[in-house]
Amino acid sequence: MNTSERQTMDSTDKLLSMTESLIDKGGSALRRFREEVLIDLDGRLKVISDKIGEDGVDPFGMDPECLRRTAVAASFLYKMYFRCSTVGIDNVPDGPVIIVANHAGQLPIDGLMITTALIMEGERPRLARSMVDRWVPTVPFISTFYARNGVTLGTPENALLLLKRGEALLTFPEGLAGITKTVDKAYQLQKFGLGFMRLALATGAPIIPVSVLGSEEQYPTLYNLESLGKIVGLPAVPIWAQMIVPVFGLLPLPVKYHLEFGEPMYFASDDDEEDATVSLLVDDVRVAINDMLEDQRGQRRSLFW
Amino acid sequence: MTASHAIMNKARAFPGTIAISGAAGRFGNLLIRRLHRTDDVVSIDPRDFNRRPADVTHFKTELRRRECRNVFRTGNIRAVIQLGPYHSQERRQESSRFATAIENFSRLLDYCDKYAVEKLVLLSSANVYGARPSNPQFLTEEAPLLASDLSALRDVDMMAQSFFWKRPDIETVILRPAHVTGGVGGVMARYLRTSPVMRLMGFDPMIQLIHEEDLVQAIRLALGPGHRGVFNLAGPPPLPLSRIIERLGRKSLPVPHFMANRLLGPLRRLGRTNLDPAYVDYLRFVCMVEDSRARTDFGYSPACGTEETIAAVDIWE
């Protein structure tokens, strides 16, 4: 055996043992996930499903059975795939509350991660009711899937009713403009809608600003084919970097997510003030989110850990 | 009669004579049977009404006919219950059906105006709000009426609303119940009776049902003094359409929503469905109502639970 052959053998051995240890690590991580996370999750979901009547769905169509299946998948993404690190979850009070976050990443994984954090991390698990745009109910399957998992159309009537029931709302006031951003606009907060602030003023519910770091990089989007979107009836048709890899390119990059729940913000004013006045208050929330986001970005060492 | 309605109402619902317009239909028949023991009731309907109780006088006439004016001129009628816009069984063209319905109802408003009627109850429907993607989960009475194809129903509802302002001294009540189940011919009840039940693939809206006996009770309560205005009515808590179909022990036949209108014709001919094309959107988007006004104003509360209300779909003679 000459030297070069021996070197090849050595490197193959190394590669094999590395793969083995990786599989081992992965296997034990999965076992731990099953043993620790899923059992805990069942108990936490029971707190939520106990509030549902005997008919098995709440008036908005949320079904604890469907929620459980989604939560299992979501907790895998939360713990294993995006390895979410969450701080400040104890800032979320009981009772009616409006959670406001920055929006990015083409698919609303940020919403899923915030919802999962509220179920899995808080002392008392809560189901955040995400508020979605009015095109969502027109999409088959997605509309039903959303409704079964507690996602609700974001009309003022729905929001008021949910807050009256003491629930937690999750809104992304940047809307589509935020989630469809391309990489050149990463971490530039878009214009915030005013609806959530009017709700807070009308109900006195506190606002929890949340910053999400990581979502911007899951689908680094180079271009958005808006004109094609108009033809096929989709709000956006993004072209993202990993698309060059077949099949796997559809998956988001396994970036590390950092969530920070800020302190409750209380606002008192007339909820029928003119837009200019309300947008000043909205700016307070926007600045709070932006500050947290900048802090997190400064502390981040790498995209992936 | 269902168990929850075993306790019959013994008190009069209304002190004077009540005319029920459209009484020869299935729901009219039920309403008259529940009212005639305590109240003086007469029936007005262009259809024959042979199965009416013996003490009820039937006037076989359309509202717009001269005979009907005589009923109001001499009949001492103090309350009118109008059950929906259509009562004729004649097969007419849609446009002339519409015109007839509007003409009939405007004539009825005219009689109320002239002949000392004190109470007008219109049985409209929650469907007048329209099933739309932007609907909030529960619509209040203030929501705009956006149903586009239900023909005279929405217009009749609006005519009653303007009559409310024209004669504030007459107690006008508009009831907008959710889908009615029971032996009545409600759109949703008829639709749910076919098997398999046609559904739209990927859509499963929440549906509110109300038992016919609960609706009778609501009308009885609305006849009481002092109640006026528009009232939504719903039964037990809503359920997804698929659950209702499951609980009825039926199978669903999912069709793609963009083909539903085209498939309806053939499916109807095959007897696979009896859904009116105007109601396809009600299988796609929510159209549910908030009924707290009826609960607080005249004490409405549905007596029939979820099981009973769903099972009532199969009451059909």
Chain B hits for A56, Cβ within 8 Å: 243
Q: Is A51 on the interface with B (CB under 8 A)?
A: no
pLDDT of res. B180: 95
pLDDT, one tens digit per residue, over A54-74 is: 778 999 999 999 999 999 999
Please indicate, yes or no, if residue B147 is contained in any of the structural domains: yes
B270 part of a folded domain:
no
Task: Identify all chain A residues contacting B138, using CB atoms and an 8 Å cutoff.
Answer: 59, 157, 161
Q: Tell me, what's the pLDDT at B84? A: 84
Chain B residues in contact with A158 (beta carbon < 8 A): 136-137
The pLDDT tens digits for A113-163 are 999 999 999 888 999 999 999 889 999 999 999 999 999 999 999 999 999
Partner-chain residue, chosen from B203, B236, B238, that has the shortest CB–CB distance to A144: B203
Average pLDDT over residues B159-176: 96
Please give the model's pTM, rounded to 2 decimal places. 0.89
CA distance to A91, A104, A252, per residue, from A79 (Å): 21, 20, 15
Q: Tokens at residue A172, please? A: 């992304």
Say yes or no: B146 contacts chain A, CB-CB below 8 A.
no
Q: Does the structure show a pLDDT above 80 at A112?
A: yes
Largest CA distance in chain B: 57
Which of A144, A152, A165 has the highest number of chain B CBs within 10 A, making it the mutation to test binding with B? A144
A157–B203: do the CB atoms touch at under 8 Å? no
CB contacts of A139 in chain B (<8 Å) are: 202
CB contact under 8 A, A56 and B243: yes
What pLDDT sits at residue A217?
93
Containing domain of residue B227, as a range?
3-186+209-235+287-302
The tokens for A45 are 């979901």
Contact of A47 with A125, CB cutoff 8 Å: yes
Backbone dihedral angles phi then psi of residue B147, each to the nearest 5 degrees: -65, 130
Task: Note whether B200 contacts A: Cβ–Cβ < 8 A.
Answer: yes
Q: Which residue in A60, A134, A140 is closest to B203 by CB distance?
A: A140
Pair type for strands A221-224 and A238-240: antiparallel
Contacts with B239 from chain A: Cβ below 8 Å? 55, 57
Q: Would an 8 Å CB–CB cutoff place B239 in contact with chain A? A: yes
Return d(Cα A172, Cα A192) in angstroms, integer: 8
Domain membership of residue B224 (yes or no) is yes
Q: Provide the pLDDT for residue B6.
A: 44
Would you call A53 an interface residue with chain B, using a CB distance cutoff of 8 Å? yes
Q: What is the pLDDT of residue B289?
A: 97
CA distances to A238, B182, B187, B261 from B190, in Å: 45, 10, 5, 18
Residue in chain B lying closest to A137 (CA): B133
Question: Which of chain B's residues have a Cβ under 8 Å away from the Cβ of A157?
Answer: 136-138, 140
Q: pLDDT at position A262, please?
A: 97
For B204, name the nearest residue in chain A, comparing CA atoms only: A144
What does the pLDDT look like over A250-282, one tens digit per residue?
A: 999 999 999 999 999 999 988 888 999 999 999
Q: Is B243 on the interface with A (CB under 8 A)?
A: yes
- DSSP summary character for residue A222: E
Instruction: Kindly report, residue by residue over A3-59, the tens digit of the pLDDT.
Output: 666 666 677 788 778 888 878 877 888 888 877 788 888 889 988 888 787 778 999
Burial B204-238 (b: 16+ CB within 10 A, else e): bbbbbbbbbbbbbbbbbbbbbeebbebbbbbbbbb
Do A157 and B138 count as a contact with CB atoms less than 8 A apart? yes
Residue B205 confidence (pLDDT) above 80: yes
- Amino acid identity, position A62: M
Looking up residue B157, the CATH number of its domain turns out to be: 3.40.50.720
How many domains is chain B partitioned into structurally?
A: 1
How close does chain B come to A63, measured CA to CA in Å?
10
Distance from B93 to chain A by nearest Cα, in Å?
Answer: 33
pLDDT confidence of residue B4: 46
CB B154 within 8 A of CB B85: no
Domain assignment present for B269: no
pLDDT in tens, B215-238: 999 999 999 999 999 999 999 999
Instruction: Check B133 against A137: CB less than 8 A apart.
Output: yes
- The whole-angstrom distance between B5's CA and the closest CA on chain A is 22
The answer to whether the Cβ–Cβ distance between A55 and B202 falls below 8 Å is no
Query: B309 in a domain, yes or no?
Result: no
Phi, psi at residue A19, to the nearest 5°?
Answer: -60, -45
Q: Is there a contact between B140 and A157 if contact means CB atoms under 8 Å apart?
A: yes
The verdict on B9 touching A (C-beta cutoff 8 Å) is: no
pLDDT digits (tens, 9 = 90+) for B235-272: 999 999 999 999 999 999 999 999 988 888 888 888 78
Do the beta carbons of residue B22 and residue B84 sit within 8 Å?
yes
Contact B206 A161 (CB under 8 A): no
Q: How many residues comprise chain B?
A: 317
Q: Do residues A238 and A180 lie in contact, with contact meaning Cβ atoms separated by under 8 Å?
A: yes
Task: Select from B137, B240, B285 the Cβ nearest to the Cβ of A158.
Answer: B137
Nearest of B154, B176, B152, B139 to residue B287 by alpha carbon = B139
Report the pLDDT averaged over residues B283-290. 96
Q: List domains and CATH numbers for chain A.
A: 67-299 (3.40.1130)
Rounded to whole angstroms, the Cα distance separating B229 from A179 reads: 45
Residue B198 belongs to some domain of the structure: no
Among B199, B204, B286, pick the best mutation site for testing chain A contact (most A Cβ within 10 A): B204
Cross-chain residue pair B136–A135, CB shorter than 8 Å = no
Residue B299: pLDDT band (50, 70, 90) is: very high
Which residue type is seen at B251? K
- Give the integer Cα–Cα distance in Å for A286 and A279: 10
Banded pLDDT at B91 (limits 50, 70, 90): low
Instruction: Read off the tokens for A122.
Output: 């808080």
More confident residue, A128 or B275: A128
**What confidence score (pLDDT) does residue B277 get?**
85
Q: Nearest CA to B22 among B117, B154, B156?
A: B156
Q: Do the Cβ atoms of A147 and B204 come within 8 Å? A: yes
Tokens 């001499």 appear where? B74
d(CA A251, CA A53): 37
Chain B nearest CA to A54, separation (Å): 10
Answer yes or no: do A141 and B202 touch at CB < 8 A: yes
Q: Does residue B310 fall inside a structural domain?
A: no
Would you state the pLDDT for residue A196?
Answer: 96
| φ/ψ bin of A259: left (φ > 0), alpha (ψ from -120 to 50), beta (otherwise) | beta
| Average pLDDT of the residues in B196-201 | 92
User: From the candidates B200, B203, B242, which should be mutated to test the interface with A, based on the most A CB atoms within 10 A?
Assistant: B203
Q: Tell me if chain A has a CB within 8 Å of the CB of B247.
A: no
Does residue A266 belong to the interface with chain B, where contact is any CB pair within 8 Å? Answer: no
Bridge partners of A155? Answer: none
Chain A within 8 Å of B140 (Cβ-Cβ)?
yes
Nearest-CA distance B204 → chain A (Å): 6
B200 against B183, higher pLDDT: B200
pLDDT score of A152: 96
pLDDT in tens, A73-104: 999 999 999 999 999 999 999 999 999 999 99
Kindly state the greatest CA–CA separation across chain A. Answer: 86
**pLDDT confidence of residue B32:** 95
Position B31 in a domain: yes
> Which candidate from B133, B140, B200 shows the least CB-CB separation from A134?
B133
**pLDDT confidence tier of residue A230, bands split at 50, 70 and 90:** confident
Q: What is the mean pLDDT of chain B?
A: 91
**A134 touches B at CB < 8 Å:** yes
Which residues of chain B are within 8 Å of residue A155 when distances are taken between CB atoms?
Answer: 134-136
Percent of chain B with pLDDT over 90: 73
